[in-house]
Amino acid sequence: MNTVVPDEALVERTVRGDTRAYDELVCRWQSVIYNLVYRMLGKEHEAEEVCQDAFTAAYLNLKNFRRESKFSSWLYRIAINLSTSHLRKRQRTPTDSLDEMTERGVSAEIEAVQWNLNGGPSVEARLLERDRARHVRRAIGKLADEQRVVLILKEYQGLTFKEISEVLNVPVSTVKTRMYAGLNEMKRHLNHAGLQGN
Amino acid sequence: MNCQQFKEKTLDFLYEEVSEEERQELTGHVQSCSRCRDEVNSLKLVRNEMAEWKDPAERAFPVAIPYPSPWSALKQWLVPGEWSWRSAASFAMAAGFIVLCAFSILGTEIHISNQGFEFRADLFRSARPRSNPNTSIDRGVISPAASSNQSISTQEVAGMIQASETRQQQLLRSEEERLVNQLTNSYRTQLTGLTRTMDSKHRLDLANIYDNLEQQRLADLQRIRLTFSSLDERTAQQAQQTQQLVDIIQKASYQPK
Ligand SMILES: [Zn+2]
Are B65 and A26 within 8 A, CB to CB?
Answer: yes
B65: distance to nearest CA of chain A, Å?
Answer: 6
Are B53 and A133 within 8 A, CB to CB?
Answer: yes
> What are the chain B neighbours of A187 within 8 Å (beta carbons)?
42-43, 45-46
Which among B61, B198, B217 is the top mutation candidate for probing chain A, defined by the most A β-carbons within 10 Å of its own β-carbon?
B61
CB-CB: which of A34, A136, A179 is closest to B52?
A: A136
Residues B201 and B162 in one domain: yes
Q: Is residue B69 part of a domain?
A: no
Average pLDDT over residues A40-54: 93
Model pLDDT, residue B222? 82
Are B15 and A132 within 8 A, CB to CB?
Answer: no
- Residue B49: exposed, middle, or buried by beta-carbon count in 10 A (0-12, 13-18, 19+)? buried
For A18, nearest residue in chain B (alpha carbons): B67
CB-CB: which of A47, A122, A132 is closest to B204?
A: A122
What is the ipTM score, two decimals? 0.80
Residues B195 and B117 in one domain: no
Going from the Cα of B36 to the center of ligand 1, the distance in angstroms, rounded, reads: 4
Report whether pLDDT(A184) > 80: yes
B93: distance to nearest CA of chain A, Å?
Answer: 27
> What are the chain A neighbours of B60 within 8 Å (beta carbons)?
30-31
Residues B105 and B172 in one domain: no
- Number of folded domains that form chain B: 3
pTM of this structure: 0.56
CB-based contact B220:B183 (threshold 8 Å): yes
> What are the chain B neighbours of A160 within 8 Å (beta carbons)?
17
Q: Chain A neighbours among B 59-98 (CB < 8 Å)?
A: 59-61, 63-67, 73
Going from the Cα of B34 to the center of ligand 1, the distance in angstroms, rounded, reads: 7
> What are the chain B neighbours of A56 within 8 Å (beta carbons)?
65-66
Q: Is residue B75 part of a domain?
A: no
Long-range CB contacts (< 8 A, 24+ apart) of A95-98? A98/A42, A98/A137, A98/A138, A98/A141
Residues B180 and B215 in one domain: yes
> What are the chain A neighbours of B71 within 8 Å (beta carbons)?
none
Q: Which domain holds residue B86?
A: 80-128
CB-based contact A56:B65 (threshold 8 Å): yes
Which among B41, B50, B218 is the top mutation candidate for probing chain A, defined by the most A β-carbons within 10 Å of its own β-carbon?
B50
Q: Is residue B18 part of a domain?
A: yes
Residues B98 and B197 in one domain: no
Q: Is residue B72 part of a domain?
A: no
Residues B226 and B176 in one domain: yes
Going from the Cα of A185 to the center of ligand 1, the distance in angstroms, rounded, reads: 22
Read off φ and ψ for residue B128, nearest 5 degrees: -100, 140
Are B17 and A113 within 8 A, CB to CB?
Answer: no
CB-CB: which of B54, B65, B207 is closest to A56?
A: B65
Model pLDDT, residue A112? 41
Domains and CATH numbers, chain A: 1-95 (1.10.1740.10)
Going from the Cα of B17 to the center of ligand 1, the distance in angstroms, rounded, reads: 19
Residues B158 and B121 in one domain: no
Q: CA B220, CA B223: separation in Å to the nearest integer? A: 5
Ordered per-residue pLDDT tens for chain B, 257 residues:
899 999 999 999 999 999 999 999 999 999 999 999 999 999 999 999 999 998 888 777 888 888 887 777 666 666 666 556 666 677 777 777 787 777 776 666 666 666 666 666 665 555 444 444 444 444 444 444 444 444 556 677 777 778 887 888 888 888 888 888 888 888 777 777 766 666 555 666 767 777 778 788 888 888 888 877 888 788 888 888 888 887 877 777 765 54
Average pLDDT over residues A70-81: 95
Q: Is residue B71 part of a domain?
A: no
Which among B9, B16, B52 is the top mutation candidate for probing chain A, defined by the most A β-carbons within 10 Å of its own β-carbon?
B52
Which of B99, B128, B157 lies at the terminal end of a domain, its last residue?
Answer: B128
Q: Is residue B56 part of a domain?
A: no
Q: What is the pLDDT of residues A79-112, one digit of tens each?
A: 999 999 999 988 877 554 444 444 433 444 444 4
B233 touches chain A (CB under 8 A): no
Residues B27 and B99 in one domain: no
Q: Is residue B137 part of a domain?
A: no
Name the residue type at position A126: R
Model pLDDT, residue A108? 41
Residues B100 and B166 in one domain: no
Model pLDDT, residue A117? 46
Q: CA A162, CA A141: separation in Å to the nearest integer? A: 24
Q: Is residue B176 part of a domain?
A: yes
Residues B88 and B162 in one domain: no
Residues B103 and B160 in one domain: no
Q: CA B60, CA B229: separation in Å to the nearest integer? A: 14
Going from the Cα of B52 to the center of ligand 1, the distance in angstroms, rounded, reads: 29
Helix-strand-coil percent breakdown of chain A, rounded to 5? 75, 0, 25
Are A35 and B56 within 8 A, CB to CB?
Answer: yes
Are A105 and B211 within 8 A, CB to CB?
Answer: yes
Going from the Cα of B2 to the center of ligand 1, the distance in angstroms, rounded, reads: 6
Residues B24 and B112 in one domain: no
Q: What is the pLDDT of residues A118-154, one digit of tens each?
A: 444 466 676 777 788 889 999 999 999 999 999 999 9
B197 touches chain A (CB under 8 A): no
Q: What is the pLDDT of residues A172-182, one digit of tens each?
A: 999 999 999 99
Read off φ and ψ for residue A17, nearest 5 degrees: 105, 5
